[in-house]
Structure 1
């Protein structure tokens, strides 16, 4: 993947996270806060816990930091997948956000 291809896909993923946060806040009482600074989004939950998603441009990866640990994702041509577990990024983000919020939340790539 070229650098411009990576940036297009990575920026699309960050925009999808922001849209998902807006949908969650409109549809639930989760009251999550998301703040984007450059290639990093910090999602803060009512209980003060956070998820941090950031771009790792030199590696062409997206990283997720959660209470359960850190995850690294590379695009396989179809989706962002974890470099160790092969889990899909948005599915994992949904799981981690649900755990940290204490209620079902859904993050999607669209």
Structure 2
């Protein structure tokens, strides 16, 4: 995949995560605030002040996630972003992380 293709895909993925969490916030499912700065998405859980950071790493062609439970790297495999260590999928992993940190069961 070219760098341009990666950047477009990463941008689309970050936008999807942000818009989904904004919608869940608007529906009062979870109290969260999302902030974007370039290739970095900061997700703050208002009730406890904890954060999840998702950012793209173009040189590695990976998305990196930093959460209370640790750091994770996801590489594109077919149509999915797959954790380079345990094989989990990005949206499933983020759903678990956000549910744990936000105190409400959510699905991205």
**Structure 1 length normalisation: TM-score?**
0.93
For 2:26 and 2:77, locate their aligned partners in 1 and report how far apart those are by CA, in whole Å.
Answer: 32
Any unmatched runs of 5+ in structure 1?
none
For 2:103 and 2:22, locate their aligned partners in 1 and report how far apart those are by CA, in whole Å.
Answer: 18
Number of the residue aligned with 1:91 = 92
Compute the RMSD of aligned alpha carbons.
Answer: 0.9
Residues 60-75 of structure 1: pairs in structure 2 closer than 5 A = 60-75=61-76
Question: Residue deviations 1:56-78, cap 9 Å, x none?
Answer: 11000000001110000000121
Residues 16-27 of structure 1: pairs in structure 2 closer than 5 A = 16-27=16-27
More strand by share: 2
Is residue 93 of structure 2 the alignment partner of residue 76 of structure 1? no
**Structure 2 length normalisation: TM-score?**
0.94
For 1:75 and 1:66, locate their aligned partners in 2 and report how far apart those are by CA, in whole Å.
Answer: 20
Contact kept in structure 1, 2:29 and 2:104, CA below 8 Å: no
For 1:83 and 1:59, locate their aligned partners in 2 and report how far apart those are by CA, in whole Å.
Answer: 12
